[in-house]
Structure 1
């Protein structure tokens, strides 16, 4: 099923259902844990695909706080960089989970701007083992990315929401439509 594309300023927003480790972009975002030393889901897949050098570099970073992000090289990935964003564990919404998730996307985009990256692919951060509700997470992701690219010129040509399922893609599609971008 085709998914919508939206354009905000000079930035194209795309939704794809794919394996994020296969994308040929400047950076993929990793839904990392606080240690940055690998884990399950997309985190484990990225570490396996990138090879042991990624873990070696991550060991030098000293972990990462929830809502923050750090950047490494991509090693064996087609992506030149990995931006490791630590999303919140869902605890019912009363522990600033929405703000922490939005911060992941903002911080990742800040790192992309600092490193002059033109294309970034995001997974559905925190929606796996961290149990963040998919529809809510997609709305926060799309609104945050759209807001940042609309208000801060960055040179980002393409932001991809790389979804693991058609359901996740449908949530992102609905979020783009709700903003009137589709």
Structure 2
């Protein structure tokens, strides 16, 4: 089971690739329709594992409305409660997908202290039968969970279980996406810790800062505070919009129109402040030689850590999936942007082809390489030798992906002078030799 843990305030968020019915939390969240039929996806799995009594109890509160969260018993599950997040209506509820994810996630977090619970297991809300894109789910759940936990004096254990349609996304890609949107949407900072990632308010630095760095840190914190204010205001307006959409009085349509207008204004202002974050990130990127490290992740995570240590020791800037600050672009465009912003491209090829972009049919690693070629970057290529010690998990199993990997490797070996490596330490030595300035 692959997972990653984030420390947020006094709480922890754990992203887990697996079956949510195995969760040991006090609360399990199900993504459901307004009739709470529990007939598909995660909700069907929860019903199967916990028994029909869950659906029977929840049905007492039907019909629900999109955006509601309904509390039921947990049947045979180890949890005390199942919270049913309503993401799918029988008709067009005129609600944006990101609003549905935000509001249901926020309402679950509000219910936890009322139920006397401190642990909860979420699915990727709405990513099943409701077909909400995983990118929307990742970004909005990241923002809401971090916002709720970052300054809460209580300690919560929050789990986000991923399965089903996440199958086309490698775990590391979802982890990077989750972290990136937490930083972009809220302006939080990230820090590494053994076995986990810390998400914290900006301006927390373990090293002394000069006057310019202090000023930039203060600017970052002001942007962060304004984004949180705008998010709180947006949450209030969205909650009122949900209520207004089900109202029957003759003023309801006028109120809905007003609320949508206010939300548009908040969204426009928020985009302005988000652009400030992008400016801060670009300023930071320009402060040192930057090296874009391109590779698959699951099989080469230890190798990437060693390479990052080399880059840090050489006082260069590491750019990679571990710390992307995302934009509104799709993942492919985000990759192109990050490669273009870097001075050096460091490509590492192992025995896996990696996550494939459905639009181009190419892996993210190959797309990064092609962008580096197109942008005229200085390219340093490192290829795992045939005699390298490997484990079964490091080898590509998909026949089509394996053929693509072989073709990709052959083109790279024909086009560049490549350094062959055996293990993480050997790779680090060769990367340092390639990047270290000549005497």
Per-residue CA deviations over 1:10-61 (Å, capped at 9, x if unaligned) read 1101010111011111011001111113110101111111112112211211
1:171 is matched with: 174
Instruction: Go from structure 1 to structure 2 and tell me whether the alpha carbon gap of 1:5 and 1:78 turns closer, same or farther (over 3 Å shift).
Output: same
Q: Which residue in the other structure is 1:130 paired with?
A: 130
CA distance in 2, matches of 1:128, 1:168: 17
- Within a 5 Å distance, the mapping from 1:17-56 to structure 2 comes to 17-56=17-56
What TM-score, normalized by structure 1, do the two folds share?
0.87
For 2:76 and 2:157, the matched residues in 1 are separated by 22
Which consecutive residues of structure 1, in runs of 5 or more, have no partner in the other structure?
A: none
Partners of 2:179 and 2:25 in 1: how far apart? Answer: 22
Aligned to 1:115: 115
Gaps of 5+ in 2: 184-188, 191-196, 198-439
Shift of residue 168, structure 1, vs aligned partner: 7.1
**SS of 1:161 mapped into structure 2:** strand
Equivalenced residues, count: 177
Give the SS at the match of 2:98. helix
Q: 1:63 to 1:11 in 2, by over 3 A?
A: farther
Preserved CA contact (<8 Å) 1:124 1:168? no
Distance in structure 1 (CA, Å) of the matches to 2:74 and 2:128: 22
- Distance, in Å, in 2 between the alignment partners of 1:27 and 1:174 is 25
Query: 1:3 corresponds to which residue?
Result: 3
Q: Say which structure, 1 or 2, has more relative contact order (CA 8 Å, 6+ apart).
A: 1
The whole-number CA distance in structure 2 between the counterparts of 1:86 and 1:113 is: 20
- Normalising by structure 2, we get a TM-score of 0.38
Summarize the alignment of residues 60-139 of structure 1 with structure 2, pairs less than 5 Å apart: 60-87=60-87, 95-139=95-139
Larger radius of gyration: 2
- Counterparts of 2:176 and 2:115, CA distance in 1: 28
1:173 & 1:159 partners in 2: Cα distance? 18
- Change in 2 beyond 3 A, CA 1:53/1:3: closer
Q: In 1, are the aligned partners of 2:97 and 2:136 still within 8 Å (CA)?
A: no
1:4, distance to aligned residue in structure 2 (A):
2.6
Q: Is 1:54–1:73's contact at 8 Å kept on the other side of the alignment?
A: yes
Change (3 A) 1:38 1:88: closer
Tell me if the contact between 1:135 and 1:172 (Cα under 8 Å) persists in the aligned partners: no
Q: C-alpha offsets along residues 79-121 of structure 1, whole Å, 9 cap, x if unaligned?
A: 22111001257xxxx8422112100100111111211211101
**Runs of 4 or more off by more than 6 Å in structure 1?**
none
Aligned counterparts of 1:173 and 1:158: Cα–Cα separation in 2: 20
CA contact (8 A) 1:67 1:86 kept: yes
| Structure-2 change in CA distance of 1:95 and 1:63 (3 Å) | closer
- Measured on the aligned residues, the alpha-carbon RMSD in Å equals 2.1
Q: 2 CA distance for matches of 1:126 and 1:16?
A: 17
Could you say what secondary structure the match of 2:150 adopts? Answer: helix
Say which structure is richer in helix.
2
**What secondary structure is seen at the aligned counterpart in 2 of 1:142?**
helix
Q: Mark the CA change 1:156 to 1:69 in structure 2 (over 3 Å): closer, same or farther.
A: farther
